[in-house]
Amino acid sequence: MLKVIKNRLEQGHRTSKYPKEPINLYKRFRGLPEIDNNCDEALVQRCADACPQEAIDVAAKQIDLGRCVFCGLCESLSEGKFVHFTQNFEMGTANRDDLLTYGDLPVLAEHSQKHFKKLFGRSLQLRQISAGGCNACEADINVLNTPFFDLSRFGIQFVASPRHADGIMVTGPISKNMRQATLSTYAAVPNPKVVIACGACAISGGPFYDSDEIVGDLNSLISVDLYIPGCPPHPLTTLHALLNYFK
């Protein structure tokens, strides 16, 4: 027991001060892109041809963050002349269309913020549904429960039963085998409830977007309230989206 106490004292306080204090991520982290609208269209076309996700709109010179897996290919191919990924991890949006971006995102929808803040501002319980992804999204959601992020200090928790939940957070491209389970879990959550699409798979099918074995995207099945892009989303991207949407 003394060893445990000694170890605890040596470890000190490890919980991040975010959002009270800003946090800097490692320089290799790819977050919100900056796009140069004046760059050559031929270069954008080359990036679009190489993009594994068909996430680049050449005519508009925009990137769809709902499809992007942040592989960085377009940045290296254009040597930063078309797109440069910043370390800004704050990328959650309330509308799917907002994820098609020049590099700027609106503040999370004000009316939804007010609506959900009133309902869930003090306590938000979520049921996570893993609907056929690679498990990296789930792993990075799980990280939110570690002492560094300590999600429960904000009154947000993941629960085992959908009947105890205020909403669902879905990861994965919704394989056909998971379609009914996703719908049944959603139905088991009492009203009013929220739906969160976490990761490129749940938003657009992600790397599986052209597979015949998936439903396609969560919004085609259930109306989504909050989108959290990434592959997987960084835990801070998820934390920021939850805090700004509900708190």
Structure tokens that stand for 81 in this block = 């002349």
How many angstroms separate the CA atoms of 58 and 34, rounded?
Answer: 15
C-beta closer to ligand SF4: residue 167 or 199: 199
Q: Is the dihedral of CA 246, 22, 73, 231 positive or negative?
A: negative
Asked if residue 177 lies in contact with residue 133, where contact means CB atoms within 8 angstroms, the answer is: no
User: Does the protein bind ligand SF4 through residue 92 (CB under 6 A)?
Assistant: no
Residues 91, 199, 239, 242: which binds ligand SF4 (CB under 6 A)? 199
Q: Residue 65 Cβ, how far from ligand SF4 at the closest point, in Å?
A: 8
- The region of 19-27, 95-103, 200-208, 209-217 touching ligand SF4 under the rule CB under 6 A is 200-208
Backbone phi and psi for residue 139, each to the nearest 5 degrees, phi listed first:
-60, -40
Residues 207, 214, 221, 234: which binds ligand SF4 (CB under 6 A)? 207
How many angstroms separate the CA atoms of 71 and 172, rounded?
Answer: 18
Residues 71, 109, 183, 222: which binds ligand SF4 (CB under 6 A)? 71
Cβ neighbours, 10 Å, residue 22: 7
- 3-state SS assignment for residue 35: strand
- 3-state SS assignment for residue 72: coil
- The region of 4-12, 99-107, 160-168, 197-205 touching ligand SF4 under the rule CB under 6 A is 197-205
User: Does the protein bind ligand SF4 through residue 136 (CB under 6 A)?
Assistant: yes
Over the window 49 to 68, marking each residue x when it contacts ligand SF4 by CB under 6 A and - when it does not, the resulting string is --xxx-xx------x----x
Asked if residue 11 lies in contact with residue 229, where contact means CB atoms within 8 angstroms, the answer is: no
**What is the DSSP code (8-state) at residue 153?**
G
**Rule CB under 6 A: which of 25-54 touch ligand SF4?**
51-53
- The region of 9-17, 69-77, 104-112, 153-161 touching ligand SF4 under the rule CB under 6 A is 69-77
| Contact positions vs ligand SF4 (CB under 6 A) | 51-53, 55-56, 63, 68-74, 133-134, 136-137, 171-172, 199-201, 206-207, 231-232
